[in-house]
Amino acid sequence: MAMNEHEYRELVAALRRILDHYGVDYRRSPPSYDYNTLYDHQCRLILDEVATSWQQHYGYRPSPGALQKALFAAEHSRRFSPPWYKRLLAALRWKK
């Protein structure tokens, strides 16, 4: 089943939220040509979970190409802020 534009934007936003929530950052992994870095493993797990969740919600599983495209779009649109727990700790330290 083809994904419409609204669903694609939802997928990108969901991936961006997950990447930000867990603090997944490609800049922390060394360059790799065999896709065997921590970042690659994290992305594989995230994409599998998102695809499973998507299938439960929408009744179909996004294609691997659509997932990769959405992942790259999510990465490209990120601001690379610290994970939520580091922002919270920084805010608590700032208020003291």
Task: List, for residues 12-53, the tens digit of each pLDDT value.
Answer: 999 999 998 888 888 787 888 888 888 899 999 999 999 999
pTM: 0.75
Confidence of residue 1 (pLDDT cuts 50, 70, 90): low
Residue among 85, 78, 88, 83 at smallest CA distance from 12: 78
Confidence of residue 96 (pLDDT cuts 50, 70, 90): low
User: How confident is the model over 53-78, as a mean pLDDT?
Assistant: 92
**pLDDT of the residue at 8:** 94
**pLDDT of the residue at 29:** 79
